[in-house]
Chain A
Amino acid sequence: MLKVLGFAAALALAAPLAVQAQTSGINDAQIAHIAYTAGAIDVAAGKQALAKSQNKSVRDFAQEMVRDHTAVNEQAVALVKKLHVTPQDNPTSQALSKDAAAKLKAHAALKGPAFDRAYLANEVAFHKTVNGALSKTLIPNAKNAELKSLLQTGLKLFTDHQAHAEQLVASYR
């Protein structure tokens, strides 16, 4: 049990540490890749929740995650096309993706309230991680003004999503 907890804790730390380590020399192409990856991860988690959850509040929240993150990612794709930037894979995106794949697999084995609670708890944790990365690393290091502006909108959105997820965790019945 302790080993599992230790591993989970290590995973939870992996993404923010990867972001911290990458602070120096992070460029707009990598920033765009990280932001897009984070959005795509939440869309995938939302789709899993829509396939599995029977709870209306959870489903409404998942629907919102899919809708909002798809909208931001569409904006991000349009922006990188306009700027002729090719999003660049990097250790942070890889850590986020690896963690997300493990979560999808673990949650696939759950059902009913157990799934709902796990999904919501992970949404809180994931949004906290991404909000930290956005405010401490991605936004301060973004060079292009339009990219910076999109990331700032993303931060407001992710912050609201985090609050919404926290409300649902507290009120889940």
Chain B
Amino acid sequence: MSKQPILEIKNLSAGVEGKQILKGVSLTINEGEVHAVMGPNGSGKSTLAAVLAGRDGYDISGGEVIYQGKDLLELDPEERAREGVFLAFQYPVEIPGVNSTYFLKAALNEVRKHHGQPELDAMEFLTLVRERMKLLELKDDLLKRSVNEGFSGGEKKRAEIFQMAVLEPKLAILDETDSGLDIDALKVVSTGVNKLRRPDNAQLVITHYQRLLNFIIPDYVHVLVDGRIVKSGGKELALELEAKGYDWILKSQTVPA
């Protein structure tokens, strides 16, 4: 049986305030696959994540994105989330006074409502949460605190992956999830992500450094430079990149992919 594509990005061009950032990106992600997009600073990695999640302020100047047969770019960000697209933020924001558990329950129930499932009550939700918390070795008190408020960098990233564990997205986009994490936190977060990997979902891991890919092993690696994917390959490409640096790609690549 051939794999079903979850996400097909076709020749996507996008920019912000008149400045072109993505210059024709194409990428297909099938069920059960983990793709990594690597690239130097300013290559357009975070723009790609933002455009896929539907953040305001980006102009799409060309191409299309098909998510499970739907035109993703036509959907509002909340509709994308309810359809199963999840963005783990590079910089999760704090929402003072809004309890983490309350927030997550509201989010999960939006997804359930969207799929015609009954909303979970407080007890059912708590049972689910306790089970998923074990994945991330999270402390109970995190749930009692306000969304991301006063969290350390590591706690914020762990909390993002914990939300992912509860929401069980079809497509998870991890935007620089390794940034700001020490090696122990990186292991915990990666282990969590790996446990959430299933044959019917997919992950798009965006990172600057190879070290995350020691823990989250991708099926494919794509190198994004100046808004274009200039090289694609297997997991070994990441190691090669680590050894030789982005300059190597720039020099060896004369024709855009």
A and B, one complex? no
Interface residues of B, Cβ cutoff 8 Å to A: none
